[in-house]
Structure 1
Amino acid sequence: MVISRRAALAGLVAGSAALAAGCSGGGGSGKPKASPSVPIRAVDPRATQSFNNAKASLLLQVMAHPDDDLYFMNPDAEHIVHAGVPVVSVYVTAGEAVGQNWIEGMPKGKPDKAAYSSARHQGLRQAYAEMLGLDRFAPWKKSVLDLGGGVKAETNELVNGARKAQLVFLNIAMLSAGDMRLPLLWERPAGAMQSLVATGSPCTTSSTYRHDTLVDTLATLMDRFKPTVVHTMDPDPDYQVHDATHPKDNDYGACSDHRDHTPTALFTWKALSQWVADSTERDGHPPRFVTTAFRGYYNQRWPHNLPPEVVEQKHRLVEAYGGDPSWDCDNPAGCGDYGQGGDRPMKNRKGWIRSTHYRYEGPAAAPGTDKAGRLEAYGVLGTQAVRWAETSPGSGRWGEPQNLGGGPLAPALASVRDSEGRRLLFALRFSALEGRGRPDTREIVVLEQRSPDGPFKAWQGLGNPEHRPDRGRRVGMPAAVAGPDGRVHLFVRNAGKGVSSRVREADGSWGKWQSLHGQEIQDGLTAVLDAEQRVHVFGTGRDTVHHWAQDAPGQPVRHQPLKGLPQPGGLPGAALGGDGELAVVYRGPAAEQPTVHRLTPGSESVASTELHDFAGYGPLAAHPLAVRGAGDAVMVLGRAVNGEIQLTDASGDSETVRADAKLVPVGTAAMAMDAGHRLCVAGMSPDASPWLWRPEVPHS
């Protein structure tokens, strides 16, 4: 009997409580007993206090294991560090596994978890020394942090001019007494874990971590270092069917990630919410920071999205981390995680090093214009929605951020204006983030203006296309488009990796969630209108770019596969060109140069143009640009191989324009037209403030 992947997934999720719990962060058999009802210190969605002034830029990363940052958060982290932003990397577990640091050709010794943990620490010192531009064996300052509550942790510091790295090792044993692991620490009220003392560590005492201890410790670190950028792991990984095509390998339960990655991310997001709540109560202002969450073993399950040059950048640091038993690093316990040394990561069929994926896709600052002609941008700051506006039309200077509340929110917003000119903001909210046998839920929410450029109404919950909370955690980021008939179409990727939609009617009422079917797409939907005002939605599949559209304006959006679109490696951008064609631009697997595919709605013909002078990586955006005396051009925005922002014409006939290297992007940038019909690019900086670029383009 042949069973579809959709049916297999449904059966897998419904039939195994233990596996579903594993995805959630818990594990074992049976449902954990909920903890007594105690107040949760978390962001209040109604809070709108003004933000504090960040004193200095700082990147804080929280990982489950040594090397998670190198595999999953680069090249983003390295680009930020190269811009002179200090980095603090926190490692929750000791990463000791079975205590064997062995490669072929070495004699096998007895397992030594303390030594293996120490060797991995040394590997990180080697990698970060190279990231800072120093010799990999540069000496570090080692000391002990007292984090309160009886918790102590080793910390290592290294400085090279403006570049600074600090490593913090909480070093919780991956397997603690009583068979306790991180998933159980998240789920069980009475769980406790102990830290492992690594060989040669200046921290010679073991600390005990309960659920609240770990949340408090992470929140304490956030308050101590006051980051402006936070990198986290994936709190809600995809469900994954494991079969001959996708063997289980290192996945845990029914999801595509490691058993420690998910609870580490959940603890981090809970700590972020607690830090914001406590800081707001204490200081009267929430902290100013932006967040990026990164996928983990998801990298194995989709076509690779990094070109060879960027992969080699990642490999240089992973290779330094892996080290070699022949190295003289002055650490008797070992000179790295030998299994990750040499060219082994490049040969690993799992391909973790060959991709970098954001968990929450979307622009870090979504730009537009107000009635006064000023540019405005909407984003998420301190887990709360925020609006910036130009001080005056064309000034190029942003005013102070206006806190719109709604938190705790995922890191990006979808922003549209309806046919009456009212702004609508859509977000994914962590509606419950509690653990200990209590709810962990997500919901889509909307904030709508009462009138064009007028005050906003209260946040409204739109629920979730999934009815079960665990499935509801897998939903993607909202994408939206407004039609001239007054309707607003909202789309999200659902737990089955298809598309679900809700429609706001012209009278403001919302219809029910509807499945638009389709399956096996990545998150990061693009929604546009064509020349006939029909809605089109594009999503990256395994074999092609998938497509949903209306047959006519006002008709339902339905799955309409397209022919002639080759396999994608990255997320697509789409825009309407002046000739009535839709331009869809994306890179193929592991490709440097993107290709623009021009589609005529209603026709099966596809004309493709490779953009030869646009080598880079990451998501792409497309936007129409009015050309005097001609039809609209389509501009393409993305990152260069070195991480800088670049722009070109989708025709392939114009030279690529680069932004000033001082504009360091955090997350994804976006485009808009200002009141003077000039193209503008907005993004977020490592100091948690937006930047604005008005490029000189050939058509302007």
Structure 2
Amino acid sequence: MNGDWLLRGRDGRLTVYLPSDDAVLCRAELAPGGAWEAPRRIGGEQRLRPGPAVGQGADGYAHLVAWRPTGNGESGLVHSTHFRPRLAPLDWVPVGHPGKKGDRTGTPAVAVDDRGRAHVFVRTRGGGVSVLAQREKGGWEPWADLGGEDVHEQLTAVTGESGRVELYAAVPGGILHWRQEEPGKQPVRAGGVDVPVQPGTLRALATSAGRTTLFFTDERGELCAWRPGDEPVSLVAAAGPGPVSAVRCDIEGHDCTVLAQRSASGRVAFAAYPTEREPAGAWWTESGPQLPADGTVSVALDEHGEVVAASHAPSTGTLLLTRRKDEPGLALWAWREI
């Protein structure tokens, strides 16, 4: 799943969105902090291609996007909205193809602006990026070409504290950045940075008013943080492959950023540091059982604003959950299967 797949709804309940064969499953808490419902398949029997994406707006609504097969060697994108954890998500609705027709072009990314409009980003056949934005009163704007070249297929999108949408993409030898300059406007190219980045490792987080932080792994295996306008900063050696999951929270009265990643050993590694203060340093602490090679982790805040983490392995279907204890630091309860 492209994006953090453990989300808290507007009623405080947690929901997970899990890829499974040719579908996306969702599960939600029956009550905040309580038992979980059985998995539900989103959109009935609609078959999907691998690599769905999820994003969430300030209203708590989750927006999901995926490719579906439409014919011999062709695919199209579909969209669903999930308004509340205990409600069924809407059926998948076709939203088209950035090149009008053709096969899958890349993994989509989704972010939702302050007006509740989902923005769907995807690489084009030519190696650039296109965006599809919802209209405020229903329907979708036409596809718009944002430019770029040699863009890696996995993008990462984020909504800043300002409510404006931003996009990051890896290219050979660097990172490209787009952002909305004004509410409701199309994102525009906002420069980038030359850095040896490993594709498929990008994850962004809103970290202060008007600023987002991009986390990525460089070619040396270092987990780095970059805020547009500054130089990238090496934070700590990456615990393992793939992107981190990240969330901001209060730890003993301090605004901290918590990172989680499946480590090279297969366990989940956590690190925390004062938000936007990378020179303070961070270090990993491993937790929980060893996960299969396809295991992923996602972090969020629960109904009390405390860190909660989930791990999922599609090969086994196992879903594990842990929460922060009411103790100093980032102490966690034992992982439990749900």
Of the candidates 282, 285, 288, which is equivalent to residue 657 of structure 1?
285
Partner of 1:422: 61
Higher radius of gyration, 1 or 2 = 1
Distance 1:386 1:483 in 2: 25
Following superposition, the deviation at residue 679 of structure 1 comes to 1.8
Of the candidates 18, 40, 48, which is equivalent to residue 402 of structure 1?
40
Indicate the structure whose relative CO is greater, using CA pairs within 8 Å and at least 6 residues apart. 1
Partner of 1:378: 17
Structure 2 CA distance for partners of 1:592 and 1:376, relative to 1, 3 Å: same
Q: Does 1:586 align with 2:216?
A: yes
Counterpart of 1:692, as a letter, is L
Of the candidates 79, 95, 115, which is equivalent to residue 462 of structure 1?
95
SS, match of residue 561 in structure 1: strand
Structure 2 CA distance for partners of 1:521 and 1:421, relative to 1, 3 Å: same
Of the candidates 556, 572, 596, which is equivalent to residue 186 of structure 2?
556
Partner of 1:694: 323
Partner of 1:675: 303
Of the candidates 226, 229, 236, which is equivalent to residue 611 of structure 1?
236
| CA deviation map 1:359-383 (0-9, x unaligned) | xx626x8111234422111122241
Distance 2:36 2:290 in 1: 17
Contact 1:574–1:623 (CA<8 Å) still a contact in 2?
A: no
Structure 2: tracts of 5 or more residues without a match? 332-338
| CA deviation map 1:661-682 (0-9, x unaligned) | 2444625322222112122222
Contact 1:654–1:698 (CA<8 Å) still a contact in 2?
A: no
Contact 1:524–1:539 (CA<8 Å) still a contact in 2?
A: yes
Following superposition, the deviation at residue 658 of structure 1 comes to 1.4
Structure 2 CA distance for partners of 1:487 and 1:444, relative to 1, 3 Å: same
Following superposition, the deviation at residue 522 of structure 1 comes to 1.0
Following superposition, the deviation at residue 586 of structure 1 comes to 1.2
| CA deviation map 1:541-560 (0-9, x unaligned) | 10111111112222210122
Contact 2:11–2:84 (CA<8 Å) still a contact in 1?
A: no
Contact 1:598–1:608 (CA<8 Å) still a contact in 2?
A: no
Q: Does 1:645 align with 2:273?
A: no
Structure 1 segment 162-177 matched on structure 2, within 5 A:
none
Contact 1:481–1:527 (CA<8 Å) still a contact in 2?
A: yes
SS, match of residue 378 in structure 1: strand
Distance 1:620 1:456 in 2: 27
SS, match of residue 96 in structure 2: coil
Q: Percent identity?
A: 23
| CA deviation map 1:376-405 (0-9, x unaligned) | 11122241221111344224x543101223
Of the candidates 472, 485, 488, which is equivalent to residue 115 of structure 2?
485
Contact 1:408–1:431 (CA<8 Å) still a contact in 2?
A: no
Counterpart of 1:415, as a letter, is V
Partner of 2:336: none
Of the candidates 498, 508, 511, which is equivalent to residue 141 of structure 2?
511
Counterpart of 2:329, as a letter, is P
Distance 1:496 1:369 in 2: 37
Q: Does 1:598 align with 2:227?
A: yes
Distance 2:87 2:239 in 1: 42
SS, match of residue 594 in structure 1: strand
Contact 1:481–1:535 (CA<8 Å) still a contact in 2?
A: yes
Higher share in strand: 2
SS, match of residue 310 in structure 2: strand
Distance 1:406 1:511 in 2: 28
Contact 1:406–1:459 (CA<8 Å) still a contact in 2?
A: no
Contact 1:575–1:622 (CA<8 Å) still a contact in 2?
A: yes
Counterpart of 1:649, as a letter, is A
Contact 1:385–1:406 (CA<8 Å) still a contact in 2?
A: no
Partner of 2:196: 567
| CA deviation map 1:178-218 (0-9, x unaligned) | xxxxxxxxxxxxxxxxxxxxxxxxxxxxxxxxxxxxxxxxx
Structure 1 segment 77-88 matched on structure 2, within 5 A:
none
Distance 2:181 2:10 in 1: 33
Counterpart of 2:142, as a letter, is K
Contact 1:665–1:683 (CA<8 Å) still a contact in 2?
A: no
Matched pairs, number: 321
Counterpart of 1:389, as a letter, is A
SS, match of residue 562 in structure 1: strand
Distance 2:178 2:227 in 1: 16
Q: Give the TM-score normalised by the residue count of structure 2.
A: 0.84
Counterpart of 2:75, as a letter, is R
